[in-house]
Structure 1
Amino acid sequence: MLRVGLTGGIGSGKSAVAARLVERGAVLIDADQIAREVVAPGSAGLAEIVAAFSDRVLDADGALDRAALGAVVFADEAARRRLEAITHPRVRARTAELTAAAPPDAVVVNDVPLLVEVGLAPTYHLVVVVQAAVSTRLDRLVRTRGMDRADAERRIAAQADDDRRRAAADVVLTNDASLTALHTAVDALWERRLLPYERNLRSRRVASPARVDGAVADPTWPEQYARLAARIRHALAPAELRIDHVGPTAVPGVAAEDVIDVQVALPDLADADGALTDRLANAGFPRVPGQWRDDPRPAGGGRWEKRLHGSADPGRPVRLHVRQVDSPGWRHALLMRDHLRADPDRRSAYLLLKRELVDAAPDASGSGTARDPWFDEEYLRAEEWAAQTGWRP
């Protein structure tokens, strides 16, 4: 199944997105609803809250007075942390139960208001963030929910800001316009990304990315890599393996095809088969069939074996190279990246070569550039640079 984390600031319209996804066929797990269940009258969760904050947070019927509790915790960060320590483990356990009960081909959407704040983003295949201008959110909270404006401002301030949420987002849905416009965006996400992603994930199939003509430099590539690396790290835990951003998208300012190259280093390449393959596939990075090796530098330098994985997500192409630590291929990927990062002139030469090759063979998408003789010469320059600077991988 595909696990999607859905979040957004209070008043952003996250619930409207969740409702539309359910209409399209998603299985919704609402963290707020579960949070109410785990503190229902007679529950161990409610008893622990009373022990921490006294019976002043109960109403006349002995149920949790959420307004009274909110007044306590939203004005006191330590109190909010204490509450989260009581409720979050219980919410996670119940969420796991509901997820396990969903059909194997489901798109399971977890509506989690504090997904970013509690660091849950790497646990999902995809994170969707709903955002709206703060002024719009305040207006909705005051006009629609009848909330006091000062209280609404405090609640917004207590959550992650938009920049932090965007950094965790694979998809951002902007909800400053009409409900119809929001539904149109959600429908497109469902048809073009979520459904194909689920099918690819279930079949352990690498997505075929949409063809994009030309190459540009995207300043968000490092942020996108960081999300991928966090997801991979979570999938491979408790193993603490070195993960690096390599390839053209790891060099600032370099125009390249929109594919993120990720390198995972193993003590022994034989460990790349078996459990590691399954873990990566389950996280959305299925193995690419076949025998894979890097072009040796200089040419004729023997076989540089590796394992290659791709992305099941049609919206984010990835080449995940699994190489043995201290192997020539592992070292070469880091050396060329750092050499180009350090030398603007060599970056310019690389860009010129890429343009020439694309102009000469526009249908090749730059895939054959690593076999160009220029790379043999550049490897020698990189080795000279490494010797002069004392570079180590």
Structure 2
Amino acid sequence: MPFADERFDAVVVDYRASWPDEFAALADQLRAVVGRLAPTIDHVGSTSVPGLAAKGCIDVQLRVASLDELVDPLTAAGYRLRPEVWNRVEVSTGVESRKLVFAPAVGARTCNVHVRLAGGANARYALLFRDYLRADEAARAGWGAFKQRLAASLPRLTDYGQIKAPATAVLMTGAERWAAQTGWSPS
């Protein structure tokens, strides 16, 4: 659930060329906060895919050796730990993995900071989602159109998310097939 200062509606917009630079600025800020505790910072989610429509919320993935070490430095920097169960545990390709998700400080650029274990199934899943949609134009166009229609018909963020989650699993079936055919592996 969004915090009180965040949007409660799902608004999907056309891709914006500024998103990679906005991610880079967030990554620099996060590096200054977490240092070597998060050796890898990835731009993931829909805003990381050129040409893909998205909600405009930058998704950042911190790949770490230990999830809990980042709670104190991130909260001290104003990031807010999301309390929901689905922001603590996720299932990716049948594997349950822990994670933490942080919202930005009040008034900061909209983002979600996903903290996942390096080498975890959920970290791989986020990278595969991004790389598959970057590589497959038809899947990218179809996914973007689906999200825009979904947001237009279900504008409440919670409703949008409940429909999008199982649809993402269908999309990822194609992504797994693509990964096997191309020999893709996470960077």
Question: Could you say which TM-score interval applies, normalised by the shorter chain?
Answer: 0.7 to 0.9
Question: Which structure would you say has the larger Rg?
Answer: 1
Letter of the 1:209 counterpart: E
Per the alignment, residue 79 of structure 2 pairs with: 285
Mapped pair 1:265 → 2:58: no
Mapped pair 1:307 → 2:100: yes
Per the alignment, residue 132 of structure 2 pairs with: 339
Letter of the 1:272 counterpart: L
Matches of 1:261 and 1:369 in 2, distance apart? 19
* 1:20-31 mapped onto 2 (5 Å cutoff): none
Secondary structure of 1:257 counterpart? coil
Matches of 2:161 and 2:107 in 1, distance apart? 19
Provide Cα deviations, 1:296-341, integer angstroms capped at 9, x if missing partner: 33xxx24222111110132411111111111111100000100001
Per the alignment, residue 174 of structure 2 pairs with: 381
Of the three residues 133, 141, 146, the one matched with 1:353 is: 146
C-alpha contact 2:79 2:103 (8 A) present in aligned 1: yes
Matches of 2:91 and 2:163 in 1, distance apart? 11
Q: CA RMSD in A?
A: 2.2
Per the alignment, residue 19 of structure 2 pairs with: 221
Cα deviation for residue 233 of structure 1 reads 0.9
C-alpha contact 1:207 1:312 (8 A) present in aligned 2: no
Secondary structure of 1:249 counterpart? helix
Unaligned runs of 5+ in 2: none
Matches of 2:9 and 2:84 in 1, distance apart? 26
C-alpha contact 1:207 1:314 (8 A) present in aligned 2: no
Secondary structure of 2:100 counterpart? strand
1:210/1:382 Cα in 2 relative to 1: closer, same or farther (>3 Å)?
closer
1:296/1:240 Cα in 2 relative to 1: closer, same or farther (>3 Å)?
closer
Secondary structure of 2:62 counterpart? strand
Provide Cα deviations, 1:285-306, integer angstroms capped at 9, x if missing partner: 2222244222433xxx242221
Provide Cα deviations, 1:262-297, integer angstroms capped at 9, x if missing partner: 101112xxx222x42111122232222244222433
- Matched residue count: 180
Cα deviation for residue 240 of structure 1 reads 5.2
C-alpha contact 1:354 1:369 (8 A) present in aligned 2: no
Letter of the 1:346 counterpart: A
What is the TM-score when the length of structure 2 is the normalising length? 0.85
Mapped pair 1:230 → 2:25: no
Matches of 1:317 and 1:331 in 2, distance apart? 23
Letter of the 1:352 counterpart: A
C-alpha contact 1:264 1:323 (8 A) present in aligned 2: yes
Cα deviation for residue 369 of structure 1 reads 4.4
Cα deviation for residue 391 of structure 1 reads 1.1
- Structure showing greater relative contact order (alpha-carbon pairs closer than 8 Å, 6 or more residues apart): 2
Matches of 1:254 and 1:369 in 2, distance apart? 19
Matches of 1:234 and 1:207 in 2, distance apart? 27
Secondary structure of 1:254 counterpart? coil
Unaligned runs of 5+ in 1: 1-205
Per the alignment, residue 92 of structure 2 pairs with: 296
What is the TM-score when the length of structure 1 is the normalising length? 0.43
Matches of 2:184 and 2:89 in 1, distance apart? 25
Instruction: Pick which of 331-340 and 353-362 moved more.
Output: 353-362
Secondary structure of 1:309 counterpart? strand
Secondary structure of 2:152 counterpart? helix
Q: Percent identity?
A: 34
Letter of the 2:92 counterpart: P
Large movers: runs of 4+ above 3 Å: 210-214
